[in-house]
Amino acid sequence: MYPRLMPLLPVFLTSLGACTPASAAAPEDEAAIFAQAEQNIVQYRQGDIHLRVVDAAGKPVAGVPVVIEQRTHQFRFGSILFELLDEQHFTPEQTALFQERFTQLFNLAVFPFYWDGYEPVPGCTEWQRNLRVARWARSQGILCKGHPLAWTHIAGMPAWLRDLPPDTATMLLRSRIVENVKGFAGTIDLWDVVNEASNTVTWDTALRMPDRVEDARYDDQGPTIQAIADWVEPCYRWAHDSNPEATLVLNDFGQIARPANRERFFALVQELQRRGTPLHGIGLQAHEPRTEWFHPRKVWDTLERYRTLGLPIHFTEFHPHSLGAPITGGFKDGAWTEENQAEFARMMYTLAFGHPSVVSFTWWDFTENDSYIKGSALLNRDLSPKPAYRAIDELINHRWKTNTRLVTDASGCLTLRGFFGDYAVRPESAASGSTFQHHAGTASDWTLRLAP
């Protein structure tokens, strides 16, 4: 089991920006936000490491050059692994390259559990397909996430389900949640249990809707918060009872650019907390409106608003354009080129990593071979990296990663400040050494014993 993702100590921040402003957007405010985010990265994403080097007899050894290498982050950077599920999707060489590109950046992978596609025929699921790829991901140290278990969108309700009596359909929803959360325990322990609940119709309403029109399922004004909570709350209790160690997230869209959507979702989370619902994280989608370059102030204010609820924040779906569509929102002018996509990515990742309540950030489409929004992926169809991939790589693997060489002092000790994550350490003269975890909230005092 992976430990449940938790927010770091909260702090009040300000905002970030980049590129060419479209209007008078208070550049001093943007600069202050960037400065605060960078300060928070140092304060909340790093900690002191104390290492003592001893010989085989346990005596301190001075003057030993030591190589310290960070292998992965405690923070979760992720994307989807949908394309690996079809074994015929890539050639073996392409599969290997896909896996190499993925593991270079990410330690979180999302798996599809949309009921309409996961169980198109009653009793015939994609269990083995998901399990095969999830086991590979776990072997790479990647945290696996299932998305979603309950959703009243047509993708979350197969046609055959709506032909059944409502009580039977609800019983099957419970069975689906229990079987997947319990059955995948230890392999998939992070779940978007319910998706977009504050923007769609309730479960009972969806069961009465005969049509398959996607837009008919969206309703961000009709259902009351209490009515939504009435069907959402049991889903989380079923999931929690099935695997008490699992991290359960509630996910929704329109949170940054649409204040009304944000307040509605906020009210739903509050109501679920009031009821004592086992909810462990807030999922904020960051792709609607799809051509908007979010003002950094909007992003930061959204994070500060949700910070007050005391739950970890997950950015769950981020995939900006790169095919030339006009940039909207009023903060930036121009078109969504690959270069602007990369610049926006740098801004959003910095804001997320710079806020102590955020524990993960997921870029949705990984390649353009099967992208949900064309032009939004990190890799081209030939799996070559786009500028956004390189921009994220620079942040994750260089700017925000600790790799260094230090020499022990007279007492055989050395101290450094490093980003939180998993490390390997060895004497410079040796090919191997030891490993350790440097995580927030835990002591990081380690001893490296030299071979005789």
Q: What is the DSSP letter of 121?
A: B
Say if strands 445-449 and 46-54 run parallel, antiparallel, or are unpaired: parallel
Q: Is residue 428 part of a domain?
A: no
**First and final C-alpha spacing in the chain:** 35
pLDDT at 218: 84
> Which among 2, 20, 1, 45 has a CA at the least distance from the CA of 419?
45
Which residues in 175-197 are b (16+ Cβ under 10 Å) and which e? Answer: ebbbebbeebeebbbbbbbbbbb
pLDDT at 212: 66
Mutual orientation of helices 387-394 and 338-353 as an angle, nearest 10°? Answer: 30
* Ramachandran angles phi, psi of 285, nearest 5°: -75, 150
Q: How many CA atoms lie within 13 A of 132 on its CB side?
A: 10
Q: Mean pLDDT per 10-residue run, the chain (452 residues)? A: 53 33 56 93 98 96 98 99 94 98 99 98 98 99 99 95 95 99 99 97 92 73 94 99 99 94 97 99 93 95 97 97 94 96 98 98 96 94 99 99 98 98 96 95 93 84
Q: Is residue 99 part of a domain?
A: yes
Could you tell me if residue 63 is left (phi over 0), alpha (psi between -120 and 50 degrees) or otherwise beta? left
DSSP string of 271-322?
HHHHTT----EEEEE--SSTTB---HHHHHHHHHHHHTTT--EEEEEE----
Q: Is residue 402 part of a domain?
A: no
Q: Is residue 397 part of a domain?
A: no
CATH of the domain at 160: 3.20.20.80
Q: Is residue 129 part of a domain?
A: yes
Say if strands 143-147 and 108-112 run parallel, antiparallel, or are unpaired: parallel
Peptide bond preceding 166 in cis form (omega within 30 of 0) = no
pLDDT at 26: 53
Whole-angstrom CA distances from 334 to 290, 291, 302, 324 are: 15, 11, 25, 9
Query: Are the beta carbons of 296 and 35 closer than 8 angstroms?
Result: no
Which residues in 79-114 are b (16+ Cβ under 10 Å) and which e? Answer: bbbbbbbeeeebeeeeeebbbebbeebbbbbbbbbb
State the total domains in the chain: 1
Q: Is residue 80 part of a domain?
A: yes
Burial environment of residue 28 by CB neighbours within 10 A (0 to 12, 13 to 18, 19 or more): exposed
pLDDT at 23: 40
The CA distance from 71 to 220, in Å, is: 43
pLDDT at 451: 87
Q: Is residue 408 part of a domain?
A: no
pLDDT at 27: 57
Query: Are the beta carbons of 151 and 201 closer than 8 angstroms?
Result: no
> Which among 196, 115, 194 has a CA at the least distance from the CA of 161?
115
What is the span of the domain harbouring residue 303?
75-385
* Ramachandran angles phi, psi of 415, nearest 5°: -130, 140
Q: Is residue 138 part of a domain?
A: yes
Whole-angstrom CA distances from 307 to 10, 11, 187, 273 are: 7, 9, 29, 14
